[in-house]
Amino acid sequence: MIIYRHHIALCCISFILLVSYVHAHRPKVKIGSQAPDFTLYDERGIAHTLSSLRGNKIALIFYPLNQTSGCTKELCSIRDGFADLQSAGIIVLGVNPGSQESHKEFKHEHHFPFPLLSDKGKKVAKAYGAKRPLGLPVRRITVLIGHDGRVKAILYDVNVADHAQEIIKSFNAA
């Protein structure tokens, strides 16, 4: 009976800690909110600051890992639809916590025409709701930011095979 009570107490404490952690790490951005500014470096060491892109439509592509099948498929879809994204006036920025060197290799191998930004400490991922608990890779989400710097849409169920068109449609619907 004592072991059973300890087990219940441990489960309750674990649940409370988990709920507290999830609550503390909820997405900070919501549709209509001002997109948090950031400065991240791309695969060539060039700084990209969100505030310097104000006046443009931005697609922040948070993807878990370089060189995985889902991420490769997603970013290749964006590469293949890049001309359509440019015609729609959309700037694409890929973001994950990978190193600049791993981004450079990934970009070179697949000929991505957009920068891959290194978010080593996952601070930007956290600010945008893409950070996951317990050291897991970032969530696959895309945050669409309008000319005014406000979040227009957050795409959680990304279609990796046709993501470029999904971004364009979502911007048009926002």
Catalytic residues: 71
Give the separation between CA 94 and CA 116, rounded to whole angstroms.
5
The answer to whether the CB of 69 falls within 8 A of the CB of 108 is no
Q: State the angle between helix axes of 69-80 and 163-173 in degrees (0 to 180), rounded to the nearest 10.
A: 60
* Non-local CB neighbours of 71 within 8 Å, separated by 6+ positions: 63, 64, 65, 96, 140, 160
Q: Which amino acid is at 80?
A: D
Angle, CA 75 vertex, CA 95 and CA 158 arms, to 5° = 85
CA 109 to chain CA centroid, Å, is 21
